[in-house]
Structure formats: C-alpha cells, structure tokens
Amino acid sequence: MSIQSPTKVLKEDLKAKLLQPDYISGSDILLRCLLLEGVDCVFGYPGGAVLNIYNAMHGNPDFNHLLTRHEQGAIHAADGYARTTGKVGICLATSGPGATNLVTGIATAYMDSVPLVVITGNVASNFIGTDAFQEADITGITMPITKHSYLVRNVEDLPRIIHEAFHIANTGRKGPVLIDIPKDISADKTIFKYVDTVNIRGYHPTMDPNKLQVDKIVKAIIAAERPVILAGGGVVYANASKELIEFVNLTQIPITTTLLGLSGFPSSHELWMGMPGMHGTYTANMAIQNADLLISIGARFDDRVTMKLDGFAPKAKIIHIDVDPAEIGKNVKTEIPCVGDVKVVLEYANTKVKSANSADWIAKIKQMKLDFPLKYIDSETELKPQFVIEVINETTKGEAIITTDVGQHQMWTAQYYKFNHPRSWVTSGGLGTMGFGFPSAIGAQMGNPGRLVVSINGDGGMQMCSQELAICSINKIPVKIVVINNQVLGMVRQWQEILYNNRESHIDLAGSPDFVKLAEAYGVKGLRATNKAEARQVWQEALDHDGPVLIDFVVRKEENVYPMVTAGSTISEMLMGDSE
C-alpha cells in the first residue's frame, strides 16, 4: 500500500463517474459517498455484518483501506489522522464485538473533540432485537460518547446520512458520529442520488460571536495589569493558531497552553510559559494564580488544569471564548462569556485589540522563567527519560509530529518537546487512553506522508496495541516508535510513592517482552539504548533509516514527573521534586 496525501482532490472524470445515478447497492453508495466527501483512507477490520461493504471494495482502485490488526487500532489510527490533518477520520468495523471494540476509541475522540465518522455493520434489520449472532446495540451503547448516531433503516437514506454525519462531526464542537448499517441495507439496491446539502433541524452551531462581547473583552484587556491567556485544543481544531499568534503579539499578554493546546502556539515565542496544571510549569501556574484577567480560548477548564477549583485563579476576572456554550460557566465562574468559533472570534478581536498595560507583568514572568525552569537531575550512569525527550527535540527541531501514549512519558514529552507548528501533537487528554499512542501515529503518518512522525510510548501502553507493528512493516509506514521503558507502570508508581507511602501494588512490568525482538518478529527494525551515548547513537540511526523503527530506551525506574500538584491542592502548591 502506498501512503497517499490527505489533500487528494477528486479528478473531474472520477467525480462525474461517482455522481452517475446508477442502480447500486448500499455498500457501493457508501463507498461513493466517502470518496465524494474527500476520504482518502479508511481504517478498518472486516467481519460478517460488513462483508457486503468489503466485497464492494474488492477491485476498487479509487478506494484506500488500511487493515489494522485490532478494531481499537483502527479507530485510534483514524483519530491520529483527524487530529493531524484537520479532516474527518473514518473507521469501519463489523457488528457485535467489532463494534464494541471501538467504544474506547469513540470515547477518546469524544472527550477530546475529534471529528470521526465511525461506520459499523449490524445484523439484518429483521434480526435486530432478537439477540442474533454478533448483535449489539452499538447506537445505544455509544449514545453518551457520540455527538450523534444513526441506525440506517432505508438504503435511500444513506447519501443524506453520510453527508450529515460529516457535517456534524466537523462543525461546531467537533466529535465522533456513528453510522450503524444493517447487513440487508448494505445489500439493498436503489438509484444513487448524491446529497450535498444539509438541513438538520435544531443543529445550528454558533460560529459568529456577539461583537458586543468581544468589545467587552477588548476593554477588559486595556484595564488589566496582570493578564494571562489560557489556550486549549479548540485553537488547534479551529485552525486558529495564526490568529492566536497575532492576538498575543497585539496584546502582549503572556500565554500558557493546555495539554491539548500544545502546538497551537509556538513554544519558541517569548511570551509562552509552558503548560499549566498538575504537571505544568512553575511559571504558568503562578501566573494564573496571580493574574487579574484570565482569557480562556478554546479550553474547558479541565480538572487537571484547575486542580482545586475554589483556589483556581483567585484574583482573576474570567473571560471564556468557546464554540460550545455548555462549557462556559460549567466549571468556573465566567464574567465575560463569548460563544463562537475561536478563529472567527480572534479575527474580529484582532481588528480591535491594543497592547495591555503589561510591561511590568511580562518582566516578572520572564524572571520566573529564569528562576524556575523545568529541570531534572541528570546522570552519567543511568538513562533519564527527560534526556531522551531532549534528544528527540534537539534532532527534530520542533518539526516532527509527536504522538504519545498516556503516563509519565506523556508528561515528560509535553514538558520537554517544543513545537513549531499546529497539529503536530497527538495525545489522549480527556480520557487518558493507554494503547492510543502507537496506532494514532500510524494514522498521523498516513495523513502526512512527507513528515517525520514519532510515537512516544511507555512500556505498558506499547503492549496494548503492539500488534499494529505488522501494518507498519507490511505497508512500510515509517513511524519512529519510541518506548520509554522503565519496567513499571510509571505514573501509578509515582502516585503510590507520593500519595500512598510507597505502597507499590501491582505495577511491576518486568516480565514484558524484549521490545527489540518483538519489533523484529514483525519485520520492524529494533534498537536499544541504556545510556546517554547509546541513546544519541541509536536515535540517529533510527532517523537515518527510511522505514519504521522501534527504539527501546531503558530508563531509570524511580524517575518522577515534576512539578506535580496533588489532588486537593491549588496549582500554586507544587511539588518540585529532587531539584527543588
């Protein structure tokens, strides 16, 4: 399989062919509609209820499908594709266990507002509700974790449903939409009529802000002396990074970016303070706690950012800009709400704003950054995970797409990797899904064939989807797969050390496989490093290799992520660690 570009544009002759009003099956209608929506890769796994769909794919040169080794791998790959391209990610699975294996990935995308169209097969319509073989009520099961879902009852409805699903997934607050297609519907035939309009009663996301609210924001900025911007993933999803940079330059307001907001603002900017919250920088947390104005842009005041709510930003007037009105006022009291698409809001605001009276505040921020940088105690005898991330950062110069799994390595990467471009950072924020990192990198690489994609994983999460090494080997997907191997569930161990008096319980991963041999078993190049010199050498070797590589970095087991804010504390109450 060749990796295709996500900017694929249908040729006019192909488009004309696809639009022909032929008498075709529901399966052929599905494939045509996906192609007409601009889909260039579907991640999936076949089974009985979707055999008609897979039969329609056979011999179809225009339809690109990547067979993963598990349905969870398929949906995480679709997620990584969507986050890095800005397009809707597509995955396909059969009924019953195939569909239920997608649930964790659907919840992951829902929590992080990622646009997916998830297509499942179901048993034939006349068997629905009879507990037929491999039947599961997937629309009911996923109702709380989808933006919308469809159970297709009539083949004539398929073109409309597919077009609506794409529209819903990728507008307003983005998210996953599920289409469940019974087997008889995928077989039924009708005259194909493409639908390219949308009229959904009750669904009209607010994109344009109330300009009076934006004017209030402008006045608040002028009056502020210690303003701070808190930018979240909404900036990235709205493609508003350019507008945010302009807003910061115009207002001269220091900025912190949440975990999902990383890459939405360049790390090299002099007013960037790092990430806030539980493992945020000293500067970002103290700036929030001492701010007199906090402007949240596309962030939802997650509990890992705010920590103890009644002690969060106690001196600040809160401004909240978000496309989802349900988020405003949900967690923190908001003085100036502004509902609208972040890009549209900032475009208008940039015509109005002036520099804040923030010179003294900026000087204090800069001094804090100098006095309290991120740091760790390096070692010449043991390999430190922070050093590994620093090496990756130095060699890629902020130009790579970085995906992570969940745990300590995720936080070290968020702290020590510096991003230049939006959509370069893929991680499971809201749900914290282990097993996400590696398959999401496969999707990112499929969507960005010309870019370096680095997947950073712990030794725990790597084992949850390691079977996807097969598709990297078979399809020559050149992801660089990093394993931060501390032989333990690191973040759980850290919590048990700090919060449970070192009572380590069921965290030992010492019986894990030899990751180099595991990679080689799948036909992927495997390398290992146990010290700093080896780390530099094998990482450069991996970069020089034109195919997929797995690098096993064996690091110190006892290393902790600092700063750290424990539950029940405010973000100014940071544990700074051994270097405190």
Eight-state DSSP code of residue 244: H
Asked about 111 being catalytic, the answer comes back as no
To 5 degrees, how large is the angle CA 89–CA 90–CA 94?
150
The β-bridge relationship of strands 176-182 and 116-122 is parallel
Active-site hit among 278, 491, 564, 574: 491
375 catalytic per annotation? no
Burial class for 502, CB neighbours closer than 10 Å (0-12, 13-18, 19+)? exposed
Locate tokens 């050498």: which residue? 537
Q: Rounded to whole angstroms, how far apart are CA atoms 283 and 290?
A: 11
CB 343 within 8 A of CB 323: no
Hey, CA dihedral for 267, 109, 570, 244, is it positive or negative? positive
| Residue in 118, 13, 120, 22 with CA at minimum distance from that of residue 62 | 13
- Catalytic site includes residue 387: no
Residue by residue, what is the 3-state secondary structure of 359-421?
A: HHHHHHHHHHHHHCCCCCCCCCCCCCHHHHHHHHHHHHCCCCEEEECCCHHHHHHHHHCCCCC
Cis peptide upstream of residue 513 (ω within 30 degrees of 0): no
Q: Which of 1, 134, 207, 534 is catalytic?
A: 134
CB 68 within 8 A of CB 45: yes
Q: What is the DSSP string of 175-186?
A: -EEEEEEEHHHH
Q: How far apart are CA 327 and CA 335, in angstroms?
A: 14
The number of C-alpha atoms within 13 Å of 155 and in the hemisphere containing its C-beta is 18
415 assigned to active site? no
d(CA 573, CA 580) in angstroms, rounded, equals 13
Annotated catalytic residue, options 133, 354, 367, 558: 133
- Annotated active-site residue in 147, 183, 384, 532: 183
Q: What share of the chain is helix, strand, coil (3-state, %, to 5)?
A: 40, 15, 45
CA distance 429 to 406: 8
β-pairing verdict for 189-191 and 23-25: antiparallel
Whether 183 is a known active-site residue: answer yes
Beta-carbon contacts of 335 under 8 Å, excluding residues fewer than 6 positions away, are 317, 318, 319
CA dist., res. 163 & res. 150, Å (int) = 12
Give, for 90, the enclosing helix (H) or strand (E). strand 89-93
The residues that are catalytic are 71, 133-134, 183, 491
